[in-house]
Structures are given as structure tokens and as C-alpha cells.
Chain A
Amino acid sequence: MSAKSVAKSALPKDSLELDLATFAVDYARKIGASYADARLESTAVNGFVLKNGVPQVSGFDIVQGIGIRIVMNNTLGFASTNNISREKVREAVEKAAKLTSAASRIGEKVKLSGAEAQVASYEVKQKVKLADLTPKDKLKVLFDAEKAMKATKVNVTGRFFSMSDFYTEKYFASSEGSRVLSRIPRTDFWYFVTVEEAGRTAQRYWQYGAAGGFEKITGSDFPGLLAAEVKATCNNIKKAVAAPKEKVDLVVAPQITGIMVHESVGHPYEADRVLGREAAQAGESFISAKMLGTRIGSPAVNIVDDPTVPGSFGYYLYDDEGVKARERWLIKEGIITELLHNRETAAILGTESNAASRATGYDREPIVRMANSIVKPGDYSEEELIESVKSGVFLRNFMEWNIDDKRLNAKYTGAEAYMIRNGRLAEPVWRPTIEISTPKLWSSVDAAAGNMEYHAGTCGKAEPMQAIPVWFGGPSMRIRNIRLSF
């Protein structure tokens, strides 16, 4: 597709004026930038919240603006404005050029790795268009969840549900000739529940997000999922025993696999962390470029990050530098194989970008991010993994978790969890806590099942904060010989 035809594939009326992006890029080049790109974006947002059965404020918004990136005197600069008149865009470019020129005397000398100019247009189709539904249609999703809570007869003292939908149109133009137009709708359902039983409480939250239309919401049985969740939580409060003190084998379900891969593999493999660019905010990494090709896990561990998974929350086909996306193999059979790169980090480490450059919106600089990070499936079933454990713990999901800022020591505290006795699930376990180093974790994983699940998250990084949609997941995994923490 040619640049002209991309521009011709007109956005809806009242939407973006694509020429503005090329105007910004051309103007930046004219006043001295050696490189420039611009992202012109418009996101239509609708949001609904139900708190303990009462709808809170319902909102809609159209978040629209332009972000311009320049290289001036070999230093990187970024500017944005939500006033997309040519006058204000020109002002924004001039401001960025002036500030970046002044900064260049103590600026990092930036190089961008080579990347083929891309001209493309793509969109995610909606089977049920978000724009065709009323607020009442969308609130019904939340009221149905509320009804499901009541029907369980469980004492759910706190019920907080939210649903949002987003429709993002984005046009990327660069001084190297890239022109990429995308239209991506996303939906997001989030819950936080508190269950009380016999004077004790337990809490759970989770998120379901996807790229697509309202069918992504109606196709998920949120009332059923929530009902099962609060019943299990209640049962856990009533019947749970203390976690075993001796070393045991663990089987972790996909939600826990997902958070483990996101926190202890995805993040430390972000090359900007490796190079210290996020040192004061999201931190650095225990991984160094020298570790490529070395062993970090058992041969059973295969991990990828892939933006191109259809319908995924982190879906894109071209990143925010216009680089064509592909699956990235971070760990293959336990060996570190690839980091996540943008063009800046790739140039420093002598490689090519693998399209990990993302920004949460027009008003944020694109930085290295995950998209959809997963453990690849293995040959077992979840049942076989459980059957193989004589004495252990099965963790279905979690509540509290964290990891240090080099991604070396993590904590995952189970919510719904059960003892495994002689290969069968037995009584619930109260808050089994895995507190473990990253190499110890991945070298203790010795088998993966085939029950793939993808879960949604909103990943935080950068300053100002950029909370970006991602998927994480994988199958159930067996982790051998672990002492739980207390």
C-alpha cells in the first residue's frame, strides 16, 4: 500500500486530519531535526463503574492530540499538544527543538537502528460495534455481575466492577517515509470483591481485556467467573489450612504463570532497563546483554512476547516507531535468546529493533514495552501435572505480588489454593506464598501443560506513568522442590 493510499483510506468524518502528522515531521526537519516522527491519535473512551450495586459517574471522552519526536543535535526530544491546529503543532515542534538543542550539550548521543520504512493500514474488526451500544447496554454487564454475586448467597461485602471501552485511531508518520494507520478497539472489565465469612475477609481482583468489539465482553461469562470466584474465596476462608513448611512441589495455574512471566521475564528483558534508561523509575535489570545465549531456566521453559496475537489486549502490527511487529523469543529451552528493543536500544547493542516501542497515548514518548508475554505450552495436561505430585500445593490465582526493581526477587501470594495429596487436590490452603529469585524459579520449572490462557493487565512504566494494555499467560506449570515463605 502506498503512502497516498493510506492517506486516502479516510478516517471517519470529524476524525483526524492525517496531513497534520506529515506537516509536523516536515516542519521539524525544516528547522534542523535530523530525524522526526509524529503520532496523531484519537481515542474514544466510555467508562462505567458499579460500586456495591450503585452506578457511579458514567463517562465518555475523546482523547485526541499529536506527539512529535525529534532528534536534534543528536539528542532526543518529544513534544505533544491536544490542540491540533497547525499553529499549536508548529509551536510544539519549535519548543521541542529549542529545548532539545539546549539540552544537547549534556545529552545522550542518540542513534536509531536501521528500519525499513513501512506504509500500511490495518484495523481490528468489531463483530458488535462499541459505538452502537447505549450506556444502559454496557451498565447491564456490571449489573449482571452484581446479580450473580447476590445469587451465590456468599457474603460479598465489597463489590466494585468497572467496564471501559476504547477505540483508538492512530496515524504514524516519520521523516524516513513510514506511514502507518491503525484502528484498534479494546474492551476492559475489572472487578474487586471482598468476601466476609465468620469475621474474616479475603479480597480478589482481576481484569479481562481484549482487542475487539463488544463481543469480547458478551463472549465472556463474567457472572459465572465471579460467582465461582467468590464461592471459592468463601470456601478458602472457612476451610483453609496453613501452608506446608517443608519443601514441596507446586503446580501453578495460568494466572500465576502469567504474572511470573510478565514480572520476572518480560520486564528484565526490556533493553532500556538493561541500559539504565529507566533507572530512577521502573528500575534496571539483573539481565545484561552478555547473558544472551546463557541458561536461565530448565529446558522446559519457552517464553515469547508477541504483539501479533489476534484479539489480544496488547495487539499491534506496527510499533510506535513504525517497525513491523513479530513474535520475540525471550527464552528458548531455558536459554536467553532475545531482549525487547526499540530502535534506540537496538542501535546501542548492535542489533535491530524487534518492534517493542510503545506509548500509551499521543502525549507520551514511546519506550520499550511488552505486548503479550506467555510461556509456551508443554506436552502435559494440568491433571497430569497434579497427578504427578505426591505432596504439594496447587495455586489457581493470587492477590498480593511484587518484585524488586532489578527483577531478581519476587513474591506471589496465592488466593485460591489447595493442597495436593497423592496426586489429587485436597483441602484449601491459606495464602501460600512463593518468595523466590528469578533464576531459582525458572530452573525449578520442569513441566508445562497445554491449557493455554491469556490474561489482561495494565502494565506501569515510565515517568509520567504509562499504564499500557498487555496480555500475559501460558499454561499451568510444575515447579519442583520449593519451600514456601511465611
Chain B
Amino acid sequence: MKKQAVVAGAGNESISKEEIAAYLVKQLRKKGADDVVVSAGTEEAVQLKFSNSTISTTQSWHSEKLNIFMAVDRKLVGTSIRSLEKRAVDDAIAKMLKFAAAAVPNKEYLGIAEGPFSYKEIPETYDKAIAGLGDKAVDILNGAINIARKNGAGRTAGVFETTVSNVYLLTSNGVEAEDKGTKAYFSVRAFVDKYASGHHICNSRVLRKFTPEASAEKAATIARQAVNPKPGVPGNYDVIFSPLPFANLLESIGKAASIFNVESKLSCFAGKLGKNVGSTEVTLVDDGSLPNGFDSVKCDEEGVPTQKNVIIDKGILKTYLHNTSTARRHKTKTTANAGIVSPNPFNLVFEKGNFNKEEMLRQVKRGLIVTNVWYTRFQNYESGDFSTIPRDGMFLVENGRVTGPVKELRISDNLVRILKNVAAVGDEPEPVFGWEVEVPTITPAVLVKGVRLTKSVE
């Protein structure tokens, strides 16, 4: 593997991240570690934050980091260092060993993956056009703000962010991997007035599939339609969730599939493997190897090549998300979702259906279109009881027709009940990632029957 000099510290020889990683693995193994995982990464990110249709601030970040995990007699220790000078690395080794000596074993820990592995390049995860975007980002943002304005938005707010990163992974079990990536992310909220707004998001790993102007137009269109909302009436409604709010719910579902959360009672899927957890319209996949997937990466944190995992297939829960240690403990195979401590989803994909917008609307006699939600909170993660608050345009649907905007309603329901009441799935998936959806999720609009809406007392 090509060696890259990353630091030439004062009084130190040039040290490559590969050499430092190899030195760490060798030294920690020599001093008694059973397992060692080292990942060295750098990241450059730039953000234009805008509000009231002007740039509020520019932000740029540079970070270099070396994460180290070590297991000694099942005592698990993690740290990270920023300086790649040999002295700092030796200090970290000494401190890790001292820390481990005073730690307590984790009897459930069953090791990391046995390498080596071979890795495939994932298409559309790096684009030099994003890496070299520079000040052109201002022109792209200006174009999007202008599109929103032309479509009726009095003001807009959001962020436009690009990231360029690389990571090198080395483990004591023969894993060696390197990956690099680019990302572009745009979030725009458009306002016609204080109480009429719309939100849209786009993200991509490659610039040619990045569509901020289309997002700006969609956000402005929702805002325009949301003018003069009437107070909503509480009750049960059939709800058409746009991709943005449905992704918010799917994120909770994806996280609930992690075995760590199942064991921690932070999941509504405990004891439900092989059982029905949704309607037959529900198929949910996690795919860390997805081309142009926002969090796609060649391998997980212990070096296992990422893969496509079907979490829910036509309503049946098929698997939890595992790393090597949890999989061994549960007598199954890793799903390549390490997190060494907690397995996590990479990119959630809700399988698209056959309904276009008009067909879906025709299914609804008395319902709502919810275009965004926020502040999703659980009363009980195990039962799935939660509430979340629609924000931005929300529209009343009567007899298959949109009859006007409404406001001030809250979804107070149950996550499993919502999955079981999925009645129709749209045919236009959209990628969602952002402030309220941290796990990248691709989903179309989804119709859920009989959703419970509440509101503040008079």
C-alpha cells in the first residue's frame, strides 16, 4: 500500500500513518494485547450556513485522528490521538496499558474479525469535483437560494456542506484497508411567512447527482402551499409521510435493529426475529456497500467488507445488526455492521412500491400529508410508544384531494403499529440525511393507515 507522509513534527522523522498503525499494533500485541484495531483518518469539511437568504457564516474544519481499540484479557480500552509523532504514540500505548490494568473484564467480548479480506471499490463514493469545489460552493448555494426565491420563498435557511475524507485501517487479525470519500449535503428550509414553511434535503457522494436547486424548488413549493394553515383537529388519520418524515421514523427502526440496542432495551424488536413486525409492504434493508450511499464504506470498523442486509422482508424481521463479537455470542454471522461496541446501520433503504403521488392520494378518504417531523421522543423504546411533531407544511386530505394546510398537531403513536399499518408505498425514493435523520436513509413517500394525532388542550 502506498505510504503517505502525514506529519513531519519538529524533531521527529516523517511518519506515515501506515507505519504508525503498524507500530501501534506491534507494540500493543508485544505488551499483551489480544486484539488491536487502529484506524487513521483525516477529514476536510466546508460548510456555508445560511439564513434569511444570506450566508450567516462560513465554516471549515480540518481534523487528523488516530483511533485505537485494544482488548487485553477481555478488558476493552479505546482512545484516540491527534499527534502522529512517535512520542505521542508511545505515551498513548503506556496510558492504554495502565488504563487496562485497572479496568474490569467484559465477559461477553468474543474478539474481532479474522482477516485478511479483499475489498471492492464501491461505485460513486469519491468525486474529485467535490474535493476541488472550493469557492464554487458559493455560486451553487446562490443558485439554489435564487430558485427558492423565484418559487415564492420570502426567505430561506439551511446549510451546504462538503466533506473529503480518508481512512486507513489495520488490525492485529490481518486486516488492512484504505478508503476515501467525498460528500455533498444540502438542507434548505423555505419560508413564505413565519408559519408557512417547507423543507427539503439532498445529498450525494458525487456532484453530478447532487440537486440543490431541485430541493430549493420543492421546499419553496411546500411553503407556498402551506400559507394560512388552520388549526388541526385531533383524531385518527391516514397519513402520507413524505420521504423526510418517514426517514425520521425509519432511523429509529434501523437503530432498533442493532443487537446492542436490543440488549439495552432500547429496541422494539426484542424477541421478534422471524416474526411479523410490519405489513407486507414493509421491506427495509441496510446496505453499507450501496453505490452513492451517503455512509457507504468498504468495510466496517473491524475490517469486514460491508454488505447488504435485509432487516425486514415483507413485514418479517429477518436479522439484527451484528459485529463479530456479538454474532459469536448469538451464534450467528456478523452482518458487517461494527461499531466494535455497538453495531450500527450505514444506509437504510426502504423498498419502493408502485404508487405514484396521485394514486396514493386517491387511497385517502380522511387524512394528512406530513412533509416533515421533528423532536421524536419515546415513552418506551421497548414497546415503541413515541410522539413526534409535524413541522413545515402539513395538509388535510379529504376524499383523495388536498383541501388545505393545517397546523399544531402531534403524532402520538407506536412504531410497530405504524409499520403494521403501512398500506401503500410510493415509487419515487429520495435520499434523506440531515439534522433530524443522522443515519442516511432512502425512502419514498409512505401511506400509513389510522395514525393517532393529538394537540394541546384549550
Contact = CB atoms under 8 A, between A and B. Distances in A.
Physical interaction between A and B: yes
Given A76-B56, A403-B375, A83 B138 contact: no
Interface string B60-96: 1111110001000001111111110000000000010
B445 to A, nearest CB: 21
Contacts of A79: 59-62
Contact of B456 (A136, A276, A437): A437
B265 interface: yes
A308 interface: no
Interface in B190-208: 191, 194, 199
A79 B59 CA distance: 5
Contact of A96 (B60, B135, B383): B60
A145 to B, nearest CB: 14
A278 B58 contact: no
B374 A59 contact: no
B24 interface: no
Contact of B389 (A143, A399, A402): A402
A57 B78 contact: yes
B58 A58 contact: no
Contacts of B375: 402-405
Interface string A322-363: 000000000000000000000000000000000000000001
Given A105-B138, A106-B141, A136-B104, A100 B56 contact: no
Interface in A43-89: 49, 51-52, 54-62, 64-65, 75-83, 85, 88
A385 B215 CA distance: 53
B82 A64 contact: yes
Interface stretch (B14-22, B45-53, B396-404): B45-53
Contacts of B260: 51
B121 interface: no
A416 interface: no
A198 interface: no
A406 B456 CA distance: 14
Contacts of B265: 157-158, 160, 192, 194, 201, 203
B78 A106 contact: no
Given A106-B138, A402-B388, A431 B78 contact: no
A284 B159 CA distance: 16
Interface in B356-408: 374-383, 385-389, 391, 408
A160 B56 contact: no
Contact of B386 (A95, A400, A463, A486): A400
Contacts, number: 252
Interface in B127-179: 135, 138, 141-142, 145, 155, 157-159
B77 A279 contact: no
B269 to A, nearest CB: 14
Contacts of B311: none
A276 B389 contact: no
A403 B388 CA distance: 9
Given A81-B63, A103-B55, A194-B382, A52 B104 contact: no
Interface residues of A, number: 89
B141 A192 contact: no
Contacts of A440: 456-457
A482 interface: yes
Nearest to B84: A83
Given A435-B457, A436-B456, A102 B56 contact: no
A190 interface: no
A409 interface: yes
A400 B55 contact: no
Nearest to B155: A276
Contacts of B408: 404, 408-409
Nearest to B139: A102
Interface in A397-437: 399-406, 408-411, 413, 431, 435-437
A78 B77 contact: no
Contacts of A59: 77-79
B383 A99 contact: no
Contact of B387 (A99, A363, A365, A411): A411
Given A57-B340, A60-B95, A279-B51, 10 more contacts: A58-B103, A61-B80, A62-B82, A75-B58, A77-B59, A134-B102, A136-B104, A143-B104, A277-B52, A281-B435
